């Protein structure tokens, strides 16, 4: 990831977990290069979706650095990033 200041949405209904970790959803336009490690099926407000997962070594959210995260790649969304409620 490069440094970006993006608009996020805290989704209290986001309970998506991958390998025991919460998934942060992000618009893929903010990634220059990435390697997809998996594809998961999720239920969303529009139905069943398949989301590619990438591993992020660190990400800064609200001035807090998270050393490891799984990111689900989104194509289009009203927000750039969708977070779990506790992030």
Per-residue pLDDT of the chain (87 residues; tens, 9 = 90+): 466 777 777 887 788 999 999 999 998 888 777 899 999 999 887 889 899 999 988 887 777 888 889 999 988 777 888 887 765
Report the chain's C-alpha Rg in angstroms: 12
pLDDT recorded at residue 23: 93
pLDDT recorded at residue 2: 60
Helices (H) and strands (E) in the chain, counts: 0, 9
Separation CA 17–CA 7 (nearest Å) = 22
Separation CA 46–CA 62 (nearest Å) = 28
Structure tokens at 70: 């799984």
């Amino acid at each position: 990831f490069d440094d970006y200041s993006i608009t996020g949405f805290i989704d209290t209904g986001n309970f998506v977990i991958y390998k025991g970790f919460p998934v942060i959803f992000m618009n893929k336009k903010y990634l220059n290069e990435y390697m997809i490690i998996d594809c998961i099926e999720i239920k969303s407000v529009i139905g069943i979706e398949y989301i590619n997962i990438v591993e992020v070594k660190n990400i800064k959210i609200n001035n807090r650095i998270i050393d490891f995260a799984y990111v689900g790649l989104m194509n289009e969304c009203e927000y750039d990033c969708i977070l779990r409620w506790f992030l």
